[in-house]
Amino acid sequence: MHDARILLDLGEDAVRSLAKRGYTLDLTTIEDLFTRRNSSIKSADELRAESKRVAAEVGKTAKAGGDATELKERARALKDQVRELEEEQEKVEGELRETLLSIPNFPAEDVPDGLSDEFNVEIRKHGTPPSFSFDPRDHVDLGEAMGIFDFSRAAKLSGSRFSVARGAGAVLERALATFFLNLHTGRHGYQEISVPNLVNRTTMTGTGQLPKFEEDLFRTGVADRELFLIPTAEVPLTNLHADEILPTEDLPYAYTAWTPCFRSEAGSYGRDTRGILRLHQFSKVELVRVVRPEESRAELEKMLGHAEACLKELGLAYRVVALAAGDLGFAATFTYDIEVWLPSQNTYREISSCSDCGTFQARRAAIRTKSKDGQRGLAATLNGSGLPIGRTLAALLEQNQQQDGSVVIPEVLVPFTGFRRVAADGTPES
- Residue 224: the pLDDT is 85
- Could you say which residues of the chain have pLDDT below 70? 266-273
- Residue 269: the pLDDT is 53
Q: Is the distance from CB of 257 to CB of 130 less than 8 angstroms?
A: no
Domains of the chain with bracketed CATH: 4-102 (1.10.287.40), 117-429 (3.30.930.10)
Using H for helix, E for strand and C for coil, what is the string for the chain? CCCHHHHHHHCHHHHHHHHCCCCCCCHHHHHHHHHHHHHHHHHHHHHHHHHHHHHHHHHHHHHCCCCCHHHHHHHHHHHHHHHHHHHHHHHHHHHHHHHHHCCCCCCCCCCCCCCCHHHCEEEEEECCCCCCCCCCCCHHHHHHHHCCECHHHHHHHHCCCCCCECCHHHHHHHHHHHHHHHHHHHCCCCEECCCCCEECHHHHHHHCCCCCCHHHCEEEEECCEEEEECCCCHHHHHHHHCCEEEEHHHCCEEEEEEEEEECCCCCCCCCCCCCCCCCCEEEEEEEEEEECHHHHHHHHHHHHHHHHHHHHHHCCCEEEEECCHHHCCCCCCEEEEEEEEECCCCEEEEEEEEEECCCHHHHHHCEEEECCCCCEEECEEEEEEEEEHHHHHHHHHHHCECCCCCEECCHHHHHHHCCCEECCCCCEEC
**What's the rounded Cα separation, in Å, for the pair 321 and 378?**
28
Annotated binding residues for ATP, written as ranges, equal 263-265, 350-353
- Residue 250: the pLDDT is 97
Q: Which of 97, 174, 201, 278 is catalytic?
A: 278
- Residue 62: the pLDDT is 84
- Residue 270: the pLDDT is 54
| C-alpha torsion angle, residues 204, 207, 211, 217 (rounded to 10) | -50
Q: Which of 353, 363, 368, 398 is catalytic?
A: 353
- Residue 327: the pLDDT is 98
Q: How many Å separate Cα 248 from the centre of its chain?
A: 23
Q: Which of 263, 289, 297, 368 is catalytic?
A: 263
Cβ neighbours, 10 Å, residue 106: 23
Please indicate whether residue 353 is annotated as part of the active site: yes
**What's the rounded Cα separation, in Å, for the pair 410 and 297?**
32
The tens digit of pLDDT for each residue in 275-316 reads 899 999 999 999 999 999 999 999 999 999 999 999 999 999
Please indicate whether residue 292 is annotated as part of the active site: no
Please indicate whether residue 278 is annotated as part of the active site: yes
Q: Which of 350, 364, 398, 406 is catalytic?
A: 350
**What's the rounded Cα separation, in Å, for the pair 386 and 380?**
19
Please indicate whether residue 153 is annotated as part of the active site: no
Residue 172 phi, psi (nearest 5): -65, -40
Please indicate whether residue 219 is annotated as part of the active site: no
Annotated binding residues for L-serine, written as ranges, equal 232-234, 263, 286, 383, 385
- Residue 70: the pLDDT is 86
Cβ neighbours, 10 Å, residue 182: 14
**What's the rounded Cα separation, in Å, for the pair 284 and 329?**
18
The tens digit of pLDDT for each residue in 238-266 reads 999 999 999 999 999 999 999 999 999 76
Q: Is the distance from CB of 197 to CB of 261 less than 8 angstroms?
A: no
Nearest to 391 by CA among 353, 342, 428: 342
**What's the rounded Cα separation, in Å, for the pair 53 and 108?**
52
Residue 349 phi, psi (nearest 5): -125, 145
Q: Which of 40, 364, 391, 406 is catalytic?
A: 391
